[in-house]
Amino acid sequence: MKKWAATLLLASAMSVVSVSDTTSFTVHIVGDSTVCNYASGAYPQTGWGQIIGSFFDGSRVKINNAAIGGRSSKTFIQDGRLESVKASMQAGDFLLIQFGHNDRYFGNSSRQVPYDSLGYWLQQYVDAAKEVGATPIFVTPMNMNMGTDGRNIFTEYDVVGKMLELSKSNGVPYVDLNSKSYNAYSKTWNAAYVSRYQFKYFLPGEYPNYSSGVLDDNTTHFQESGSIAHSQWIVEELENALNESYLSTNSKTELTKLVSAIKPRYAFTVKSNVSNSSGLITHNQNLPGDAPLTLHVSPGSFGKAFKGWYDDDCNLLSTDSNYYGQKTLYRASTYTAVFDGGSACTVTAHGEEEIPVSSSEESSSSENAESSSSSSICSKLTATEEWKSPIDMVYPEEGMGTTDKDHVGYTGLGFYNIYNELSSVATFKLQSIQSASNAKLLIRYSNGGTESRPMKLTVDYGTYEVDFPPTADWDTWDTVYVEDVWIDAVPFNFTIESLTANGGPNIDMIAFNIGGVSREGCEPCEDPSDKDGFVLRQSVVNVSFDMQNLKITTPGGLLKVTVVDALGQRVMHVERYVKSGEVDLLPQKESIPQGRFFANVSLNGKMVGLKPFLVKSR
């Protein structure tokens, strides 16, 4: 075996300084849900901060991924998270900074940042790093899935320009992940490939964690192969940044140290044994050894029966069209998707692996790690088709009240009795294995008083004021609902606080209409639509779409259509019974503004399609 040396790409730029190949340091990462770590129960949803460590020499580079979903450059600081990261940074470390997805300003959320304030918040990350002798590096946010020739969201709300401006004024490195991703997602790559293999879009049965599939989250969040691509682009941009004239001498010296720790990358070639240029299959890449190995192919796009994945020695790896859970080799490698009727597998010559003589596993710390909790809070309630994540509200982690059982009709181990005082608070630690921008929340309660008891709810970072009207008595239970609740696939706090001296109602349970939400440390309820790994769903026949004219042909029934924009924000929701045949998908389509949208369509309670469409100027 050969001992590999640190990569010497851009040698002329790096020769300016001398860097020891034994220098060790930590790369700290701050950002949002496109960056953060996810628990194994959310796989293959992945942030690039989970992957980037495999591109560096683990004996020299430690990764501290402090990114968390739902935060903007402002709220990450307001949460106290920057101070926490700063406390763990040392001289010689690096701070990678990516925000933008939650900063965009629409004036309807406390986490949004007016553009004229964006520079103020981003500068604080630079100042925090420099104060302890670390090097800040801006990473522009990757583009969203806007389709072929689509918009570049982050040059409209110009995070890209602002980060470049601050990089130049501070003399610090700048990584333009936005341009790399925009060119790939909107210019170079097939739109279907981008949705299926980069973003979080899974067909039913593709992955054990999403047996019912995920068909409505393919604009913002990423699967593992998407974050692998982002990590590859980031290290390429780090190497290119060494040639930038605006870097200060100190920043160039430090960046050279970081680039010298990038592992060698090898040609990762993927092909099929049939000729079909339009078939969806993993693209060729340049990857280091010991990175996640993911192979995807859509047999239907090749029109032939899939037999399996074979390596360059023609060994069968898997008969599953999605192959994952393995690591890349320390050498160039070739993988072939073999179909019936194609040519025989042929051996591809290759060298031996250049495995490092000594290495250590990359380590990462994150506030997204799985946690344990007392089984006393893990009461198993029964999920329904509509409410997939019921949660018993007993024994909060922090609370001003008591868990009681002195009234009849509660559903689990008891209910939480919030003190009858202004600002009585109870906080429950929850976790989610999937993201949703418009989840629906149910709260079951009783209020035997004579007046309504308004409460402030905080779900992760979103706040909602909810009124709890009187029920007949304390033994009578009712429900209230909260629409458009934003949830990221991370642990989060659910806090309920009384707004009057009457205090709060008795809280029996809550439930979300998405699966995979539970008390932290508890297993989520089983999805009632899933049995033995197979989705039980009513057959819907003869459904076809004409998205150019926004028409649908069905056998008739209850048609529900939710329209969301590229950020997942709800634009329109329509429910109506339709007769068989062709009808308008959206009777009020004239009220939808210009832009790219997605229609989430169900018929008789069953999902039948997530369809993109474009509204042009009228």
Instruction: Please tell me whether residues 84 and 124 are part of one structural domain.
Output: yes
Phi/psi for 165 (5° steps) reads -60, -45
The residue segments making up the domain with residue 89 are: 1-10+24-263
Whether 604 is covered by a domain: the verdict is: yes
Instruction: Please tell me whether residues 346 and 486 are part of one structural domain.
Output: no
Instruction: Please tell me whether residues 451 and 467 are part of one structural domain.
Output: yes
Q: Which residue has the tokens 């019974």?
A: 577
Instruction: Please tell me whether residues 151 and 225 are part of one structural domain.
Output: yes
Mind listing the pLDDT tens digit for each residue in 534-556?
333 334 457 888 888 899 998 88
> Once rounded to an integer, what is the mean pLDDT over residues 81-95?
96
pLDDT at residue number 357: 65
pLDDT at residue number 569: 63
More confident residue, 396 or 618: 396
Instruction: Please tell me whether residues 515 and 423 are part of one structural domain.
Output: yes
Name the nearest CA neighbour of 143 among 134, 154, 133.
154
Instruction: Please tell me whether residues 180 and 271 are part of one structural domain.
Output: no
Q: Which CATH number fits the domain that encloses residue 578? A: 2.60.40.3080
Domain boundary among 478, 499, 526: 526
C-alpha span between 353 and 28 (Å, rounded): 30
Q: Report strand pairing: 517-519 vs 530-531.
A: unpaired
Instruction: Please tell me whether residues 225 and 281 are part of one structural domain.
Output: no
Instruction: Please tell me whether residues 462 and 565 are part of one structural domain.
Output: no
Collapsing DSSP states into helix, strand and coil, what is residue 384? Answer: coil
Whether 17 is covered by a domain: the verdict is: no
Whether 335 is covered by a domain: the verdict is: yes
Q: Which CATH number fits the domain that encloses residue 507? A: 2.60.120.260
More confident residue, 572 or 114: 114
Whether 361 is covered by a domain: the verdict is: no
Band the pLDDT of 566: cuts 50, 70, 90: low
Band the pLDDT of 348: cuts 50, 70, 90: very high
Torsion sign, CA atoms 251, 256, 262, 268? positive
Among 82-96, 181-195, 457-471, 590-604, where is mean pLDDT lowest? 590-604
pLDDT at residue number 369: 37
Instruction: Please tell me whether residues 4 and 125 are part of one structural domain.
Output: yes
Phi/psi for 166 (5° steps) reads -70, -35
How many domains is the chain built from?
A: 4
Residue 551 tokens read as: 């028409």
Whether 359 is covered by a domain: the verdict is: no
C-alpha span between 246 and 162 (Å, rounded): 15
User: Residue 308, exposed/middle/buried by CB under 10 A (0-12, 13-18, 19+)?
Assistant: middle
Half-sphere exposure of 486 (CA within 13 A, CB side): 18
Instruction: Please tell me whether residues 93 and 206 are part of one structural domain.
Output: yes
Mind listing the pLDDT tens digit for each residue in 305-331?
999 999 999 999 999 999 999 999 999
Whether 362 is covered by a domain: the verdict is: no
Percent of the chain with pLDDT over 90: 64
Domain boundary among 222, 246, 263: 263
Asked if residue 492 lies in contact with residue 348, where contact means CB atoms within 8 angstroms, the answer is no
Instruction: Please tell me whether residues 508 and 572 are part of one structural domain.
Output: no
More confident residue, 337 or 612: 337
Band the pLDDT of 156: cuts 50, 70, 90: very high
Band the pLDDT of 490: cuts 50, 70, 90: confident
Instruction: Please tell me whether residues 272 and 250 are part of one structural domain.
Output: no
> Once rounded to an integer, what is the mean pLDDT over residues 560-581?
76
Whether 531 is covered by a domain: the verdict is: no
Name the nearest CA neighbour of 481 among 442, 447, 455, 448.
442
Domain boundary among 205, 229, 263: 263
Whether 276 is covered by a domain: the verdict is: yes
